Amino acid sequence: MTDTPDIQSYTVAASHHGDRLDRWVAATVSDLSRSYAQQLIADGHIVLNGVQVKPSMIVATGDTVQVTLPLPQPSDLVPEDLPLIIRYEDDDLLVVDKAAGMVVHPAPGHARGTLVNALLFHYPTLQIGSDLRPGIVHRLDRDTSGLLVVAKHDRAKAWLQTQQQAHTMDKIYLALIEGHFNEPTGVIDAPLDRHPTDRLRQAIVQDGRQARTHYRELERLGSYSLLEVRLETGRTHQIRVHFAHKHHPVASDPLYGRHRTAHPLGLTRQFLHAHSLSFNRLDGQRLVITSPLPPDLQTVLDALRLLYATSAAPPAGEQPWWATDL
């Protein structure tokens, strides 16, 4: 880890005359998202002609922009020697296969034992700014297992966040739901926001944030369906709320299920697993990482297959199965 900030200087070209500073930075400086550029400008790490200005400042031909990428700050987080399964790693990022029951980052009531605590033990040189989510680009619920990508430094985090915002990071889940949809594939498009009276829950809210979930039926197993689910957006509890909204909650979901105390074949958590994650590395190479079902979910699935005849999944075709829905 270097102890010298990364300082870069740029000159505004005529083709960008009249641009907002934050927009110009995002378009010019490699791997910086516009939101991260706004943060750096507000903190004084990006100056225009030697002067600290607002992100909305207009640039002109010949202006000089100096960008200083700050050093990581000391953190009060406690490293803990907790086991991690790493499915992929390079110099910029890693993909973790999170176990069910592990909280992603510290929060009230969960100061220790989180994925972040484990990351800081196994990767003490994570070069990420001082917050409670070093390197965390997206999250999974505590009792949802599967894949998470973690950035090793600020540029990688900005690069991955840009892909999330552009919906070019593909996240595929396996979910067992109650009941069956009439059509084997479909899209749930319903805005989400915090529940108006229950702070632990999310809900369908008319003026909430846009949320779209694509699904494909893989098998029918008695009164359950195994689905492959793709998130077009990544809202809190999105899959769980969307399927509950359609009266097909995720099996054994303790928060949104119709029968919250019902545990099919001994399942004690929601049957939801982040199975596949696809995104571009910083060098542009496309990665596709997969994770098998963990033993508790595989045991339930195997038992259901023994009990019920399964139906074949619809053919995916040459394109991704969700391509015609976008």
- Which residues are catalytically annotated? 141
Question: For residue 266, which of 232, 216, 300 has the smallest C-alpha distance?
Answer: 300
What are the Cα distances from residue 104, in Å, to 44, 136, 144, 316?
A: 30, 8, 10, 33
Q: Is the CA virtual torsion 122, 123, 129, 133 positive or negative? A: negative
> What is the rounded CA–CA span in Å between residue 72 and residue 131?
10
> Mapping DSSP to helix (H, G, I), strand (E, B) and coil, where does residue 211 land?
coil
Question: For residue 304, which of 218, 214, 183 has the smallest C-alpha distance?
Answer: 218
N-term to C-term CA, the chain: 42
Contact at 8 Å (CB) between 139 and 119? no
Strand partners for 115: none
- Sequence letter at residue 34: R
Contact at 8 Å (CB) between 134 and 143? no
Question: For residue 191, which of 167, 214, 208, 215 has the smallest C-alpha distance?
Answer: 208
